A and B are shown apart, each in its own frame.
Chain A
Amino acid sequence: MTLLAVDNITVRYGRLTALRGISLTIEAGEVLFVTGPNGAGKSTLLNAIAGVVPPISGSITMDGAEVVGTPPEQVARLGFSLVPEGRNVFGGLSIEENLKVGAGMRTDRSKIAGDRASIYDEFPMLAARRHTPAGMLSGGQQQMLVIGRALMTSPRLMAIDEPSLGLAPKIIDQVYEILMRLRAQRNLTLLIVEQSSARALMTGGRMMLLRGGRIVLEGAAGDMVKDERLKQAYFGFGDH
């Protein structure tokens, strides 16, 4: 079943075109990596889906419902949860309050406390410091918190923008281990954006390479390892 369908969207910031006619689909339950060098338009793609940056043309549908022109709070209600780059915890709010904000729009209110408990099970160090202001946490802890907060929205599709940014390699391993476990447990669909393709190649799933606002390469991550075009795309020898 196709969960998300992006059809030929173009996004401009003033005179700068960030995305030029991108199309992609995400099937329920799969992991899609979108990778590419700085300025390729990866974050813009996520923001367009989230309803933060409106495309000037094209359509985005989440489970059949049109997303373009819908405000972010409505897109969230369709089941799309974005963990943006730089984590964005609510620094003045405690860990627990951050998680509560994530659950604010849910209608199945009786399940919220249980979900919060299961997130504390998953991230014990969040449980231990649940009344600490989130701004006091380390980068790795904040990354765990925003993943937990996104889960509290009970998403069907979770997108994460550069989860490894600014984290130590050991912590990055941990983050991915948790993501993959959550995916298996909750049948989550994941859209992960990373600058480097290495993590996608390690983790598996489907991969898409963005460059200059276009998709230049697409396929199963496993097949990409040997693909010369991957290297070329980063170093700029490829066609664009």
Chain B
Amino acid sequence: MTELLQIVFDALSLGSLYALGALGIALIFGVMRLVNFAHGDFIAFCVFAMLWPSINAAAIVFAGNLPFYLLVPLLLLVGAALSVLSEVIVFRRFRNANPATMMIASFALGFAIRNLLLMLYSSRPKSITLWPSLSLPVEVFGARIPMLQVVTITLTLVVLAALTLFIKRTRYGLEMRAAADNFTMARMLGVRANSVILLAFAISGMMAAAIGLILATNSGTADINMGANVMLIAFIATVIGGLGSLPGAVAAGFLIGAASVVLQATLPHDARVFRDAFVYGAVIVVLLLRPQGLFAPKSAKQRV
């Protein structure tokens, strides 16, 4: 029983990470058909923003010393600003380019960000301790669960609820959904293209910052490649969820998280090292059966 509960919490917290990542990608894809491969580097950038530039192994914590009620908003702001700047400086030039061109631009941007970090911080991973108290376990129905997992899951649920409310209930959310459905039509009804896209980038950037915070707290290290793995799985989640579908991206994120954790727990010991191969195998099977994704939005078909 406690073992099962442990697995559930592992699955939920890993799934939370993937769901947040997939959401960040799906939001931008929805409004401008861009798969932003720089998203992983946004995550790393946000983590390094907490450190003072230095090439030593021992990190000089900078913003990371702030109390959490200042650090979290500051980091969300950093993520949003980086993301918005990327749109204004880079992606806006490719607004009418084909999706492949935009995707390559995003690779280039990611490369530029990674190398900037490399220049400022060197390639050595740095240790960073944010909230040591979060790694202490708490007792939930007899199972000992790390506090961080509980916090991660709770925060993700709060973020998802807030985003759902925003998208369903506010005028800006409505405009974002309309633009994701049919961008030109939305513009002809007066929806401002730039505002909607900037908003999507800002929210997506905040998601990246949130992931960065969770990863850094969890692993205790800042590594230039730390966003890459999450980004890859998050991207796969958006594809499985049906590109452009936000609920689909979230559901698929949790699904992949759960699959990874369950496989880790149930595979025979010798096969565990190949866990990811099993996960990706399952992904391939899903895509063979439903190439449009599990939750393809109606608009995906008729998009011009």
Which of the residues B174, B193, B297 comes within 8 Å of A101, measured between beta carbons? Answer: B174
A residues 44-73 in Cβ contact with B at 8 Å: 50, 52, 71-73
Residue of A nearest to B171 (CB): A104
Q: B190 near A76 (CB under 8 angstroms)?
A: yes
* Complex: A178 Cα to B290 Cα, angstroms: 42
Chain A residues whose C-beta falls within 8 Å of the C-beta of B175 in the assembled complex = 101, 104
B1 lies within 8 A of chain A by Cβ: no
**Which stretch from A88-96, A115-123, A223-231 is at the chain B interface?**
A88-96
Q: A92-B181, A101-B175, A104-B175 are in contact. Are A77 and B190 (CB under 8 A)?
A: yes
- Judged by a CB distance under 8 angstroms, whether A84 is at the interface is yes
Report A98 CB to chain B, min CB distance, Å: 8
Within 8 A of A (CB), among B181-206: 181-182, 184-193
A150 to B192, CA, bound (A): 16
Query: CA A150 – CA B185 in complex, angstroms?
Result: 11
B171 — which chain A residues lie within 8 A by C-beta? 100, 104
**CB of A160 within 8 A of chain B?**
no
- Cβ A93 vs Cβ B174 within 8 A: yes
B126 interfacial by beta-carbon distance below 8 Å: no
Q: Which residue of B lies closest to A72 (CB)?
A: B187
A97 within 8 A of B: yes
Give A87 Cβ to nearest chain B Cβ, in Å. 9
Other-chain contact of A93, B181, B184, B191 (Cβ < 8 Å): B181
Q: Is the CB of A88 within 8 A of B190?
A: no
Chain B residues positioned under 8 Å from A97 (CB to CB)? 174, 177-178
Q: Closest CB-CB distance, B51 to chain A, in whole Å?
A: 41
- Using A73-B193, A101-B174, A104-B175 as known contacts, say yes or no to A91 and B298 having CB atoms under 8 A apart: yes
Q: Is the CB of B178 within 8 A of A71?
A: no
Given A84-B188, A98-B178, 6 more contacts at CB 8 Å?
A: A50-B188, A73-B188, A73-B190, A76-B190, A88-B182, A88-B185
> Nearest 8 CB-CB pairs, A to B?
A105-B190, A76-B190, A72-B187, A90-B181, A91-B298, A88-B185, A101-B178, A135-B298
- Interface residues, chain A, with chain B CB atoms under 8 Å away: 50, 52, 71-73, 75-77, 81-82, 84, 88, 90-93, 97-98, 100-102, 104-105, 133, 135, 149-150, 153
14 CB contacts below 8 A, A to B, read A50-B188, A52-B188, A72-B184, A73-B187, A90-B185, A90-B186, A91-B302, A92-B177, A92-B299, A93-B181, A97-B177, A104-B190, A104-B191, A153-B190
